[in-house]
Amino acid sequence: MPADAPDSAPREHTVPVADGVELWARESGDPTGTPVLLVMGAASSGVLWPDALVERLGRRHRVVVWDHRDTGRSTRAVDVAPYELRDLATDAVRVLDHLGVQRAHVVGMSMGGLLTQLLLLDHPDRVLSATLFCTGALAGAPGGEGLPGPHPDLLALWSRLGETRDEDAEMEFRVEHWQALAGAVVPFPREEVLALERGAVAHGGPADASSATAHARAGTSGLARGAELAGVRVPTLVVEAPEDPAYPPPTARHLADSVPGARLVTVPGMGHALPAAVLEPFGDAVEGHLDAVDAAKP
């Protein structure tokens, strides 16, 4: 590396967010680039973001991932210090504050997409752009009546999240869960998923029943704010995953319609997951959105 080149080596942080509650965070990529905050879904560590996506975005951006409370290396909190899901959105702001980031592109998946919407409503000055995928609009957004819910097979799997399993059985369950989430169009990359989950276990230790259901047991007050999305002015991209069994079509279209000026892009074959087979078109959509916003900002 030339002497004057920026140091792109990953940098880990411990971020205090409440009394006795700390979060693990990691930044990587170009430290001089526009920050990108990746917000993962429920019960999921930040290391579940695919390395290929993090590295791609890191070519021109400072990429930040972190472990929500009750995941990875962050504090197991819900049973000793109960919290609301909306507190996880405030955690995102605390992570930005700790890293000295004033504004960031925010990319949210699943529950992370709901948290990103809360950031758009409560902290728009901290969000350069938003990318929402595998998620739906906050409750109360007009036109949301009658949208389909999660597939029954997926609901059946979710009912088993709190079961106690040995290490091998737990890994098999996680693979089964990801297979259901990924849909049936894109070939399921079993070994890729196994490697990803083994990496998550190496990072944060074996999952227990409490951690697996922590976010399902967190408070849900203050989330019925979908009508407020009509006031959002932050550039927003919604990526539709047509094979998503958790947020099936036309959920993404409804979300895009709920945010003024939001652009909808469909990634064919994509389910509620980011296997290698969809990373190129998904990455193209996200990078194009980030580049357009970066080019337009003062």
pLDDT tens-digit map of 262-297: 999 999 999 999 999 999 999 999 999 999 999 997
> Which CA distances in Å does 277 have to 113, 189, 255, 263?
22, 9, 25, 23
| Per-residue pLDDT at 229 exceeds 90 | yes
267, 281 in Cβ contact below 8 A? Answer: yes
**Catalytic residue check, 210:** no
List pLDDT tens digits, range 247-261.
999 999 999 999 999
- Take residue 35 and report the two structure tokens written for it: 């920050």
Q: Which candidate in 8, 44, 45, 110 is catalytic?
A: 110
* Side chain identity at residue 102, one-letter code: Q
Assessment of whether the complete model's pTM goes beyond 0.75 = yes
* Side chain identity at residue 78, one-letter code: V
| Per-residue pLDDT at 214 exceeds 70 | yes
Give the chain's radius of gyration (CA, Å). Answer: 18
Mean pLDDT of 205-221: 89
Q: Which of 36, 42, 73, 26 is nearest to 56 (CA)?
A: 36
> What's the rounded Cα separation, in Å, for the pair 133 and 48?
15
> What's the rounded Cα separation, in Å, for the pair 106 and 115?
10
Mean pLDDT of 130-149: 97
| Per-residue pLDDT at 149 exceeds 90 | yes
> Which CA distances in Å does 275 have to 1, 191, 241, 242?
31, 11, 12, 15
Q: Break the chain into its structural domains and give their ranges.
A: 11-296
> What's the rounded Cα separation, in Å, for the pair 6 and 1?
9
Q: Sorting pLDDT into bands at 50, 70 and 90, what band is 4?
A: low
- Take residue 98 and report the two structure tokens written for it: 């700790």
**Catalytic residue check, 244:** yes
Mean pLDDT of the chain: 95
Mean pLDDT of 100-104: 98
Collapsed DSSP state (helix, strand, coil) of residue 266: strand
Which residues, other chains included, contact 187 with Cβ-Cβ below 8 Å and sequence gap of 6+?
277
In CATH terms, 11-296 corresponds, of 3.40.50.1820, 3.40.50.300, 3.20.10.10, 3.40.50.1970, to 3.40.50.1820
Q: What is the pLDDT of residue 1?
A: 47
**Side-chain-side CA neighbours of residue 283 (13 Å):** 18
User: Among residues of the chain, what percentage have pLDDT more than 90?
Assistant: 92
List pLDDT tens digits, range 197-206.
999 999 999 8
| Pairing of β 11-18 and β 21-29 | antiparallel
Query: Which residue would you say has higher pLDDT here, 93 or 210?
Result: 93
238, 133 in Cβ contact below 8 A? Answer: yes
List pLDDT tens digits, range 37-71.
999 999 999 999 999 999 999 999 999 999 999 99
Q: Which helix (H) or strand (E) holds 261?
A: none
**Catalytic residue check, 272:** yes
Q: Strands (DSSP E) along 116-230, which ranges?
A: 127-133
Q: Which candidate in 61, 177, 215, 272 is catalytic?
A: 272
| Pairing of β 61-66 and β 21-29 | antiparallel
- Take residue 129 and report the two structure tokens written for it: 């752009």
Tell me the sheet residues that pair with 240: 266
Mean pLDDT of 236-252: 98
Mean pLDDT of 90-102: 98
> DSSP H helical segments within the chain, as ranges?
51-58, 85-99, 111-122, 152-158, 167-182, 190-204, 209-217, 251-258, 276-296
Q: Which candidate in 67, 70, 244, 257 is catalytic?
A: 244
List pLDDT tens digits, range 63-93.
999 999 999 999 999 999 999 999 999 999 9
